[in-house]
Amino acid sequence: MAGRRSGLFTRRRTAPTARLRRLAREMRRLRSEAGLTREDVTARTSVNEATLYRLETAKGRPQRRTLMALLETYGVGDTKREAILALSTQAGEQGWLRPYHADLPDEYVGYISFEAEARSVRNYESSFIPGLLQTEDYARAVIRGVLPTVTTKEVDQRVQARIERQVVLAKTDPLELWAIVDEAALRRTVGGTKVLVEQLTHLLKVAAEPHVMLQVIPFGAGAHPGMPGSFVRMDFPDSEDPPLVYIDSMAGDLFLEADEDIRRYNQIFDHLRASALSPDDSAGLIAALVREIT
């Protein structure tokens, strides 16, 4: 459960970060190069298999003494050892984390973490306006509609988190966002006519920014590869951090990083942008919808 950690891990809530993923990948590689199984490592150190699994799957950041014991077992030299210890320290740097985030689901906190570190995001949405482009009133209406059993406090926390996320588009070196939205998401009257008009007007404003690309797949495009559901693909500034695909579904949230998954979703996104209207034509469609509604 969030907040409860083994004594071999830091006690602060550990959300996944790009650096934590890199640390996990490096520790898996070092163990493999040493020719050791997890059972072998447990037999040679005080680190149990459950703890090792958490480290190697980016489920937690180990304490320094745990990491030192593993690096010694793997025969890692001083220079490499210092680099990994530094990486572990950096993996715990989460300036975006707020006190109330402890009440948010782990998957959502993880998503916020990755998004805050990303260099670029490609987001396809079939039913919603992308979270980074939502107005506060639209976000509140969406959350209440999708999660009818949550409390008012939980709604407020999620809305606040969603609005705070949008700072990535306003910083000095902003996130590059390429969003593709199905026309159905634009026409769904979330929160009522007034809220929808404000949301569409906000879309037109944000889409004019040079670091934001917005395309709409019109109803006339017919069937397309995005109809099964939405997804997000993230790229990170450091070449050592591989791309990540995020899928939010009724069955739960998934983070995919296997090469074949990345290639598959790259292909899907390429098909979607080919099916979508150009950015200018997309803006024209949104403006026409505003006139139609009002």
More confident residue, 190 or 56: 190
Domain closes at, from 69, 91, 113: 91
Q: What pLDDT score does 180 carry? A: 98
C-alpha to C-alpha distances, 23 to 92, 112, 167, nearest whole angstrom: 11, 19, 27
Q: What pLDDT score does 9 carry? A: 44
Amino acid occupying residue 263: R
Q: What pLDDT score does 98 carry? A: 54
Amino acid occupying residue 135: T
Can you give the residue range of the structural domain that contains 27?
A: 18-91
Residue % of the chain over a pLDDT of 70:
90
**Beta-strand relationship, 176-182 and 212-217:** parallel
Amino acid occupying residue 222: G
Question: Over 168-188, what HEC string results?
Answer: HHCCCCCCEEEEEEEHHHHHC
Q: What pLDDT score does 92 carry? A: 62
pLDDT at residue 10 tops 50: no
Q: What pLDDT score does 6 carry? A: 38
The rounded Cα 15 to chain-centroid distance in angstroms is 11
d(CA 257, CA 260) in angstroms, rounded, equals 8
pLDDT tens for residues 153-203? Answer: 999 999 999 999 999 999 999 999 999 999 999 999 999 999 999 999 999
Q: What pLDDT score does 54 carry? A: 86
Q: What CATH number should be reported for the domain holding residue 159?
A: 3.30.870
Q: What pLDDT score does 94 carry? A: 54
d(CA 158, CA 136) in angstroms, rounded, equals 10
Of 31-35, 94-98, 281-285, where does mean pLDDT reach its minimum?
A: 94-98
pLDDT tens for residues 99-154? Answer: 555 677 777 877 888 898 899 999 999 999 999 999 999 999 999 999 999 999 99
Q: What CATH number should be reported for the domain holding residue 70?
A: 1.10.260.40
Task: Tell me the Cα Rg of the chain.
Answer: 22
Residue % of the chain over a pLDDT of 90:
63
Q: Which pLDDT band, with edges at 50, 70 and 90, does 216 fall under? A: very high
- The verdict on residue 286 lying in a domain is yes
* Mean of all residue pLDDT scores within the chain: 88
Do both 138 and 228 map to the same domain?
yes
Q: Which two tokens stand for residue 271?
A: 């098909």
List, in sequence order, every residue forming a beta bridge with 215; answer none if it has no partner. 180
At 124, phi and psi to the nearest 5? -110, 130
- At residue 6, the 3 state secondary structure works out as coil
Do both 185 and 275 map to the same domain?
yes
C-alpha to C-alpha distances, 137 to 98, 190, 192, 199, 203, nearest whole angstrom: 22, 9, 10, 8, 14
pLDDT tens for residues 11-25? Answer: 344 456 777 888 888
d(CA 280, CA 213) in angstroms, rounded, equals 10
- The verdict on residue 22 lying in a domain is yes
Per the CB < 8 A criterion, the answer to whether 244 and 255 are in contact is yes
Domain closes at, from 42, 60, 91: 91
Q: What pLDDT score does 107 carry? A: 76
pLDDT tens for residues 246-262? Answer: 998 777 788 888 889 99
Do both 44 and 122 map to the same domain?
no
Do both 55 and 129 map to the same domain?
no
Q: What pLDDT score does 58 carry? A: 80
Q: What pLDDT score does 188 carry? A: 97
Do both 206 and 284 map to the same domain?
yes
Q: Which two tokens stand for residue 208?
A: 């004019």
Do both 171 and 253 map to the same domain?
yes
- The verdict on residue 52 lying in a domain is yes
pLDDT at residue 76 tops 80: yes
d(CA 113, CA 116) in angstroms, rounded, equals 5
Number of domains in the chain: 2
Do both 246 and 179 map to the same domain?
yes
Of 11, 8, 214, 13, the C-alpha closest to 113 is 13
